Amino acid sequence: MAIIANPIEVKAVGARIIRILFNDGTGGEVDLSHLSERGVFKKWDTEIPFSSVHINSENHAIVWDDELEIDSDNLYLKLSGKTFEEWQKEHEPFISKIF
């Protein structure tokens, strides 16, 4: 479940590159080629087209199938250039109201 920001658009734009947009306007391209040879991500080469990427409407993960997904919070932090601790400090007043 995304806690930082929800992705609203995702599209494959290269061999292992996705373009993603979040509901707060943060967005950009993320190269996922470093995952291609790891575990379930090998499916991109044999079973699942990389271009089938989409957003899971329940947990807001970036997914290809039931086994192949990436947490959208990590992608958000990568695009924003912030650590979780930096993001948390900036949003502390809001977070304390939720929890």
Q: What's 88's domain CATH number? A: 3.30.2020.10
Cα 49 to Cα 54, 68, 71, 90, distances in angstroms: 12, 11, 19, 38
Six-digit token string for 24:
């707060």
- Does 2 map to a domain? no
Judged against a pLDDT cut of 90, whether residue 96 lies above it is answered with no
Residue 60 belongs to what domain range?
7-98
What separation in angstroms does the CA of 94 have from each of 76, 79, 80?
Answer: 18, 21, 19
Domain presence at residue 47: yes
pLDDT above 90: percentage of residues in the chain:
59
- Residue 1 CA to residue 62 CA, distance in Å, equals 11
Give domain status of residue 34, yes or no: yes
Please indicate, yes or no, if residue 61 is contained in any of the structural domains. Answer: yes
C-alpha closest to that of 53 among 38, 35, 68: 68
Residue 30's φ and ψ, nearest 5 degrees, are: -125, 125
* Residue 52 in this model has a pLDDT that exceeds 80: yes
Count of structural domains, the chain: 1
Tell me if 82 is assigned to some domain.
Answer: yes
Question: Within a domain: residue 60?
Answer: yes
- pTM > 0.75: yes or no: yes
20 class by beta-carbon count within 10 Å (0-12 exposed, 13-18 middle, 19+ buried) = buried
